Amino acid sequence: MLVILIVLSSMISFFAVAFLAPSMKKFMEKVKIVGIDQQKHERPKMATSGGVLVMTGVLLGGFFFIAVNTFLTPLHVDMTYLLAAYCSILIITFIGFLDDIHVARRPKKNKGVSDLRVGLKQWQKPLLTLPAAVPLMSVMAGTSSMSLPFIGTVNFGLLYPLLLVPVGVVVVSNATNMLAGMNGLEAGLGSISLFFLGIYTFFAGRIDACILAFITSFSLLAFLKWNWYPAKFLPGDSLTYLIGATYASVVIIGNIEKFGIVLFTPWMIEAFLKLRSRFRARSLGDLRTDGTLKAPYKKIYSLTHVFMKIKPMKEYEITLCIIFFEFTIGAIAFLLM
């Protein structure tokens, strides 16, 4: 019954996103919540902030699971952590949405004024995402004993809920925002990583974390049809923040920090590479006439640049390489844990 319920909840999240995507795209474009696909010669404008769409699927799939567990077939799954995680994810997704719609007015000579989408400042993002950790902190999500790679088990006591949980939520949600910009990259990478987390937490017996991972993974998979090359719907920061917040929540309530850290390798590599440029470098490449992307710098400042250095690739080829890299890491992590 548990497996059937997980599958049904995941399918509801998948089909909810698939069904709502056309009308959501039309609405976003009507109210001018749009972005520019910068890796195309024609630089087309299209709906952005796909995190709002994906969050709808995550809510519907999760609430179906909660309703069945509460009113029909009790599975003895504690909803406290799951609901706290939902609060954290909703707060961070909202911050990402604010980033997507933050515009400034700038004058144009002889043409009045126009809107310039500027987003939030870099220093504002970690500060605004910090309160999202409060729901997880208040329910004492996770355990103070953590199993860390190369170190072993460490008991952090009260430092875990008061320090490590908020740090983890802020760092992970902002780190997933760094490796972005290619069609299908955010949704594809998020879907495969959360799918691995779902499988791992299922066998670990952490069903609250498992259901959250699977329904988000399948919501992202449905969105991927619209975000794959050439994209018809852009993810925006609302989606990258949603992925990071969900990832952090699953790891925390599932008590799988060791596995989560290993699986987070692509984003950690990206953070270290961006640090080399003091977070000024872009992940995007220089678009050539044949549609391939060339590394924009002599040095490597992004994981995307690694594959561009091998040879100029098309956008979807780089996305596939990074997704395959994450799949390989996930497979290795299962063998090592």
Say what the pTM is.
0.91
Q: Give CA–CA dist 128/135, Å, rounded.
A: 14
| DSSP bridge partners of 148 | 152
Q: Do β-strands 313-314 and 292-294 pair in parallel, antiparallel, or remain unpaired?
A: antiparallel
In the predicted model, is pLDDT for residue 116 greater than 60?
Answer: no
213 neighbors 6 (Cβ within 8 angstroms)? no
Residue 283 main-chain phi, psi, to 5 deg: -80, -20
Residue 153 main-chain phi, psi, to 5 deg: -85, 130
Average pLDDT, the chain: 89
226 neighbors 48 (Cβ within 8 angstroms)? no
Residue appearing with tokens 């990583």 = 193
Indicate the domain borders of the chain: 2-258
112 pLDDT tier (thresholds 50, 70, 90): very low
Nearest to 35 by CA among 233, 187, 207, 175: 233
311 pLDDT tier (thresholds 50, 70, 90): confident
93 neighbors 237 (Cβ within 8 angstroms)? no
Segments of the chain assigned E as strands: 34-36, 45-47, 103-107, 113-117, 145-148, 152-155, 286-287, 292-294, 313-314
Lowest-confidence segment of 13-27, 100-114, 142-156, 287-301 by average pLDDT: 100-114
In the predicted model, is pLDDT for residue 160 greater than 90?
Answer: no
150 pLDDT tier (thresholds 50, 70, 90): low
* Token reading at 101: 């719609």
Q: Give CA–CA dist 243/113, Å, rounded.
A: 35
57 neighbors 14 (Cβ within 8 angstroms)? yes
